[in-house]
Each structure stands twice: as C-alpha cells, then as structure tokens.
Structure 1
Amino acid sequence: MPEAITHTAQISWVSEFKTLTKHRLSLSVVFSSLAGYVLGAQQFEVLTFALLFVGGYAMVGASNAFNQIIEKDLDALMKRTQNRPLPSGRMTVNTAWVTAVVLTLIGLTLLYIINPTTAFFGGVSIFIYVAIYTPLKTKTPLSVFVGAFPGAIPFMLGWVATSGDFGIEPGTLFMIQFFWQFPHFWALGWWLYDDYKSGGFFMLPTGKRDTGTAIQIILYCIWTIAVSIIPVFGVTGDLRLSLGSAGIVFILGLIMLYFAIRLYQKRDTKSAKQLMLASVTYITLIQLVYVGDKIFRVWL
C-alpha cells in the first residue's frame, strides 16, 4: 500500500509540475527555438540542440510558474484558470517559488553553456515577462505590446545559439514572431473576453470587442505576412527563403488574414476562436516551411 501511495503522489507531482509550467505552451515555445537553431546551424550539434531544448523549457516553465504565483488570486476568479495548482490549493506558493527559481537557475546555466549571449537573451525574456508584462496585464492593453518582446525571443534564440551574436538573421526571426503575437493574443482576448474581464485583465487594444480592435488585428496580420516573406528578397543575410516556400508562407498568411476579416465582419467569439487557432497553425507551419526550405536547399 505505501508503494501505491508513493507512486500516486509521484504521478500527482508530475501532473502539477506540467500544469505549473504550462507544458503544452512551453513545448510550443521551445519548438520555435529549435526551429531557429536548425535555420542557423552550419553543422548540427546534438549537445547544443539538447541543451537548448532542456534549457529553453526550463526558462519558459519558470516564467509560467512565476506568472502563476503573481496571478494566483486573479486566476481563482476565472473559470479557465481556477483549477490551477495554486488557486485550487493543491500546491503551496513556497513550492511554486522553489520550482520557479530552480528552473531559472537550470535554464540560465544550460543556455550559458551554449554561449553567454543565448543566456543573456533568455534572462531578458524571463525578466520582461515576469517583472513587466505580468503586472501590466491588469493595468493597460499595452501589456500585449510589452509581452510581445519576450514572446518573440524564442524563435531568434535558436539562431543566436548557433552564432553567439545577434544580427539581421535572428532579428528577422524576432520580427516575424513579434508581429504575429498581436493577432494571436487579441483573438484569444476577444474569445475569452468575459473570463479575462472577471480577472481584471486588459487584453484588447481598445479594451472592447469593437471595430477598432478588429481593424488592428487585420493590420497586424498583414504586417506579419509581409515580414514573414522578407527573406525571399535576399536582404536578410544567411536567412534565405526560396520563391516556392515564400509562396506557401504567403498563402498560409492569407488564410490567417481571411479569419481576421471574418472576425471583423461577424465580431463573435466563434470567429475569434477560429482566428486564434488559425494563428497557431500559421506560426507552426511557417517555421516548418522555413526549416524544410533550408534542408532542401542546403542539406540534401
């Protein structure tokens, strides 16, 4: 019986850890870093790839843990988050703090082993997310703008891990994910507007599900598409994109834009949810297209 209890406790701890670190979100963010690494790597190094994976997950997981510590009382007010470990009482704040701090130390150490610049950007990301973005979420819609900076770092971080410095190539990857976050998070904010309102969060640029917000979503979709195809013009150093791949990226962007226009026309939660899902699909697929394009051009 004691063994069964211990096994159950271990399963429970793993489950709570996954929830505290938002493992699905963390893995999707790490995927961006790994895609950036493949794009920048002149020679694939398994050790660097593994360090980036584990270190990246630790940093993102720590950010999410700190975020939940700060927002535990607000999370209790929203249906979407009230069953998280802290607001539900299944985990103590002290346990969450220790977990977040340990993950931060692990993440920074592993990223520093890759190179100091990678660790620097990882540290900047967690600082902005926890110390600036999180407190601003209940103060101003500009929080989305601030949060777009740490949110855009992962894609470029993989390239920095291969080069050790910041240049036009990782800068372009940064801008792609930076602009993409606005239609993504505004669609999410529109879809979950009532829940966010219960927690006191300001997610939409005008504060309302109105024409102004819908128009800004469309504009940022257009800018995202434009930035995403810039490498095809040969102005982004070693970051290149073939004409065929650029065409695919452009079509994927038009699909996302279509759902943004539908939201403008209908202004309902269903359209917002569809746009949010379309935006997730877009960023995932274009990263795969970028990676596939490089493999086809260079590695085969």
Structure 2
Amino acid sequence: MSTGKSSVNQVSLISDFKEITKMRLSISVVFSALAGYLLGVVGQVDFYTLTLLAFGGYFMVGASNAFNQIIEKDLDVLMDRTKNRPVPAGRMSVRSAFIIATVFTLLGITVLYIINERTAMYGAISIFLYTCVYTPLKTKTPLAVFVGAIPGAIPFMLGWVAARNDFGIESGTLFALQFFWQFPHFWAIGWFLFDDYEKGGFYMLPTRKRDKGTAVQIIMYTIWTILISIVPVFNVTGDLKLSVVAAVIVFLIGLVMLYYAFELFKKRTTKAAKQLMLSSVIYITLLQIVYVADKFIR
C-alpha cells in the first residue's frame, strides 16, 4: 500500500511542478525563443547556445509563473480555472513555491548570462515586469494587458539577441510582432473566461465588457500584427528578411485570424472567442515556422 501511495505522491508532485511553472506555456515561450535564435544565427547553429536558451527561457517563464501564483493565491481560490493550482489548493506551501520561483530566477538569469549579458538582462526585465508590474495591475486596470504584453513579447526577440548579442531593428521587429499579437490573443481569452475572471476581480478586456468596443480593438490589433508580419519582405528590417512567397503565406495565415476576429465582432459569443484564441495560437506558431524555414530554404 505504501508503494502505491508514494507513487501517487510522486505523480502529484510532478503535476504540481508542471502547474506551478505552467509547463505548456513555458514550452511555447521556449519555442518562440528558439525560433528567434535560428533567425538571428549567422553560419552554423550552435546547439550548446540553443540548449542554454531552451533551459534559460524555461526557467525564466517558470519563475514568473511561480511568483504570479504566490501573489494571486487568495484570488486564485475564487476562480474555477485556478482554484486547483498547487498553492491555493493547499498542496504546496507558499514557502515551497517561493523557493522554486527564486531558484528558477537565479538559474534562468545565470544560464542566459552564459550566452551573453544582454540576453540575461532582457530575461531579468521580463521576470521583473511580469511579477512586479503586470501581476499587481491585473486587478486595477485593463492596461495591465499592455504591460503584460512586454514580457510576453520578449522571448521571440530574446532568441535573436542570444544569437547576435545585439538589439537592433531585427530584434525590435520580432518584439513588435509578438507584442501586437498578444492583444487579440489575450483579449480572446479574457472574453471567454470573463465570468471566471470577474470572480477574482480581474478585468482584462479594454472596455471591461464583452462589447463591440472590445471587439473593434481586437480587430485593430490583429490588423497591426498582420502588417508588421510582412514588413521584412520590403528589406527595411536589416538582416531579418522574408521572401515574397513566405510573406504571402504569412499574410494569408493572418487573414484567417482576422476572419475569426470579425466573427467575434459579429457574434460576440464565447465560442467565437475560443475560435479566435485557437487561431491566434496557430497563427504565431506557423508564422515562426515559416520565418525560420524561409531563412534556411532561401
């Protein structure tokens, strides 16, 4: 019996660790960072740097998420989406979560520092903004989403900085692309989780309502995202280039997301918001794949 209990405890520990660091989100962030590195790398890919970036990126996001869950533990209890997280559910103490968050912060910054100082600096800025600015603002103003979009946009740019040890027009473009993408993505989530967020006192939508005003802003930011995504085809973004074929593909993928943004404007339903959220995830993933493939095929 004791062996069965210990194996159950081990499974619980692993699932709690995955939850406190938001493993799925962290992996998607690592994917963005690696795509940015592959776009920035000159010559051969350095798999040592790639591995450091993957681990450093994971530690960075895991630390931010763990600190976030400590700060919001009393509010997480109120929401169906978050009440079973390790800290609010009482399976993990605040002290244990804080140790994980602190260790991940130190590991993340150290590992990124091994790559270069700039990468570590942007990693540290990301953790600070997410934990100390975005998280406290979430219950106070919808502008929190604008602040949260900064650390959310850093990973794609971080990869380029890891490859070049430089922040220029190229990494700035990657940052801008993922920055503007965050708004339709997060507002779609804020729309279909509106009632649950309301229980915790979070107002994530720009008008604080699921109305036409929010839907119009979602459309506007989707259009900005699409426009930025094709800028590299005009040879104005330094070493970040895009072929005409790749630009057309990226533009067409963007139109799919824009279609669902208009569907949300027309229907204003939870289902439409979920479809937009899903299309936004597919969009950013395919965009990064197309960008990288285009670089190595050309």
Question: How far is the alpha carbon of 1:262 from its aligned partner?
Answer: 0.5
Question: How far is the alpha carbon of 1:281 from its aligned partner?
Answer: 0.7
1:250 is matched with which residue? 251
Question: Does residue 146 of structure 1 match 2:155?
Answer: no
2:242 is matched with which residue? 241
CA distance in 1, matches of 2:53, 2:151: 16
Task: Give the TM-score of the pair, scaled to structure 1.
Answer: 0.97
CA distance in 1, matches of 2:15, 2:281: 24
1:20 is matched with which residue? 20
CA distance in 1, matches of 2:283, 2:60: 24
Q: Which amino acid aligns with 1:17?
A: F
Question: How far is the alpha carbon of 1:12 from its aligned partner?
Answer: 2.1
CA deviations on 1:32-68 (whole Å, 9 max, x unpaired) are 0000000101120111000000111001000000000
1:226 is matched with which residue? 227
CA deviations on 1:177-216 (whole Å, 9 max, x unpaired) are 0000000001110111000001100100000011110100
1:71 is matched with which residue? 72
CA deviations on 1:117-156 (whole Å, 9 max, x unpaired) are 0000000000000000000000000000010100000000
CA distance in 2, matches of 1:181, 1:6: 41
CA deviations on 1:54-89 (whole Å, 9 max, x unpaired) are 111001000000000000111110101111101111
Q: What is the aligned length? A: 297
2:37 is matched with which residue? 37
2:179 is matched with which residue? 178
SS at match of 2:58: helix
1:198-237 → structure 2 map (5 Å cutoff) = 198-237=199-238
SS at match of 1:87: coil
Question: How far is the alpha carbon of 1:7 from its aligned partner?
Answer: 3.8
CA distance in 1, matches of 2:73, 2:283: 31
CA distance in 2, matches of 1:152, 1:240: 19
Cα RMSD (Å): 0.9
SS at match of 1:77: coil
CA distance in 2, matches of 1:208, 1:201: 12
SS at match of 1:88: coil
1:155 is matched with which residue? 156
Task: Give the TM-score of the pair, scaled to structure 2.
Answer: 0.98
2:166 is matched with which residue? 165
Q: Which amino acid aligns with 1:36?
A: G
Question: How far is the alpha carbon of 1:11 from its aligned partner?
Answer: 2.5
CA distance in 2, matches of 1:267, 1:256: 15
CA distance in 2, matches of 1:181, 1:98: 30
CA deviations on 1:211-261 (whole Å, 9 max, x unpaired) are 110100000000000000000000001100000000000001100000000
CA distance in 1, matches of 2:9, 2:268: 45
SS at match of 1:80: coil
CA distance in 2, matches of 1:67, 1:128: 11
Structure 2 unaligned runs (5+)? none
Q: Which amino acid aligns with 2:11?
A: I
Q: Which amino acid aligns with 1:79?
A: D
CA deviations on 1:81-105 (whole Å, 9 max, x unpaired) are 1111011111000000000000111
SS at match of 2:87: helix
1:117-136 → structure 2 map (5 Å cutoff) = 117-136=118-137
CA distance in 2, matches of 1:134, 1:158: 25
Q: Which amino acid aligns with 1:112?
A: Y
1:107 is matched with which residue? 108
Question: Does residue 263 of structure 1 match 2:281?
Answer: no
Q: Which amino acid aligns with 1:27?
A: I
Question: How far is the alpha carbon of 1:280 from its aligned partner?
Answer: 0.6
Q: Percent identity?
A: 66
1:264-283 → structure 2 map (5 Å cutoff) = 264-283=265-284
CA distance in 2, matches of 1:86, 1:200: 19
CA distance in 2, matches of 1:69, 1:18: 15
